[in-house]
Amino acid sequence: MFYESGIPYVVVLMRCPYCLSTDIRVLDSRDVEEENSVRRRRLCNACTKRFTTYEKAELIDLVVIKKDGTHQPYDAAKILNGITRSCEKRPVNQDAIIEVANKIDRKIRAKGVKEITTKKIGEMVIRELVKLDPVAYVRFASVYNQFNSTKEFTRIISMFNKKREQLEK
Ligand SMILES: [Zn+2]
């Protein structure tokens, strides 16, 4: 996890804060016991600047409630995986996918809640995918909503078209 404007979030892919390169090396790691975190000195291979990150293993105690009522610990990587799968073979940049996953993760953490439903997370992902790629959006929405009728599918498509129109205005 990495701190940005006070809100800790999982860095799916670490970036240099100076040049945004992802080509980063860890110089040394040290446990910061009183803060229960790991301090890492990092070096950007692209611009050679150094910076420090503090990562916490268990910073938030967030439970995800699945559709069938079962609980599981929140894992931001699952959001990234879901988006990545939806964007397979689509002209979507990996950086854009990571950015969206991080954005959703930050939003979830900023809520400060103890539990969240997969439905709620799914809605947040869908909202971002609409802006990213139409096919990825439909793919994700079809898995997430588990369409059981063509009527529902048609509804999703028209919802998508409406949202696109709004964005293009
Ligand atoms: Zn850099």
Distance (angstroms) between ligand 1 centre and the Cα of 108 equals: 28
Tell me how crowded residue 133 is: count the other CB atoms within 10 A of its CB. 19
Instruction: Identify whether the C-beta of residue 158 lies closer than 8 Å to the C-beta of residue 112.
Output: no
Beta-bridge partner residues of 4: 7
Whether the model pTM is above 0.85: no
Distance CA 56, CA 98 (A): 20
Distance (angstroms) between ligand 1 centre and the Cα of 159 equals: 41
CATH code that applies to domain 63-168: 1.10.472
Distance (angstroms) between ligand 1 centre and the Cα of 17 equals: 7
Distance (angstroms) between ligand 1 centre and the Cα of 20 equals: 6
* Positions of the chain with pLDDT lower than 70, given as ranges: 1-13, 31-37, 55-60, 145-153, 156, 167-169
Distance (angstroms) between ligand 1 centre and the Cα of 51 equals: 9
Distance (angstroms) between ligand 1 centre and the Cα of 22 equals: 8
Q: What is the pLDDT of residue 8?
A: 39
Distance (angstroms) between ligand 1 centre and the Cα of 83 equals: 26
Distance (angstroms) between ligand 1 centre and the Cα of 102 equals: 19
Distance (angstroms) between ligand 1 centre and the Cα of 21 equals: 5
Q: What does the domain layout of the chain look like in residue ranges?
A: 2-56, 63-168
Residue recorded with tokens 């990545």: 84
Over the stretch 20-29, which tens digit does the pLDDT of each residue have? Answer: 888 888 888 7
Q: Dihedral (C-alpha) 119, 124, 130, 132: value to the nearest 10 degrees?
A: -130
Distance (angstroms) between ligand 1 centre and the Cα of 152 equals: 47
95 DSSP assignment? H
Please choose, from the candidates 73, 72, 80, the residue with its C-alpha nearest in 3D space to the C-alpha of residue 128. 80
Distance (angstroms) between ligand 1 centre and the Cα of 16 equals: 5
